[in-house]
């Protein structure tokens, strides 16, 4: 397993977190996640109208990967997929 130098500190200003020797990033986990989120929002900042894969209702989103209009529809879609997989297993 590759290791990195000991005593490295997060590259963000005013952050004094000492990085793990196993962390390849120049930032701590908190700041690395923020950098990824900022980058993600820049990918598809334009809002688009889509139709929910579960209920078919239109919704507006800036997230290019969003398929469902709400957590409820996402949860129902997951339950439907699980039910279909169970049926396929028992049918085989």
> Domain residue spans in the chain?
1-43, 48-91
Q: Please determine, for residue 20, whether its predicted confidence score (pLDDT) is greater than 80.
A: yes
Q: Please determine, for residue 73, whether its predicted confidence score (pLDDT) is greater than 90.
A: yes
Instruction: Report pLDDT for 74.
Output: 96
Instruction: Report pLDDT for 76.
Output: 97
Q: Please determine, for residue 1, whether its predicted confidence score (pLDDT) is greater than 70.
A: yes
Taking the CA atoms of residue 29, residue 33, residue 34 and residue 37 in that order, the dihedral angle to the nearest 10 degrees is 180
CB distance 40 to 26 below 8 Å: no
Instruction: Report pLDDT for 88.
Output: 92
Say how far apart CA 26 and CA 35 lie, in whole Å. 11
- Region 74-80: what's the mean pLDDT? 97
Instruction: Report pLDDT for 50.
Output: 94
- Region 65-73: what's the mean pLDDT? 94
């Amino acid at each position: 397993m590759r290791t990195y130098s000991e005593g490295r500190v997060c590259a963000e200003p005013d952050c004094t977190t000492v990085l793990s020797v196993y962390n390849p990033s120049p930032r701590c986990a908190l700041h690395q996640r923020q950098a990824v989120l900022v980058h993600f929002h820049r990918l598809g900042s334009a809002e688009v109208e889509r139709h929910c894969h579960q209920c078919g209702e239109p919704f507006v989103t800036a997230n290019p990967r969003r398929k469902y209009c709400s957590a409820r529809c996402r949860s129902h879609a997951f339950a439907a997929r699980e039910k279909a997989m169970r049926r396929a297993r028992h049918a085989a």
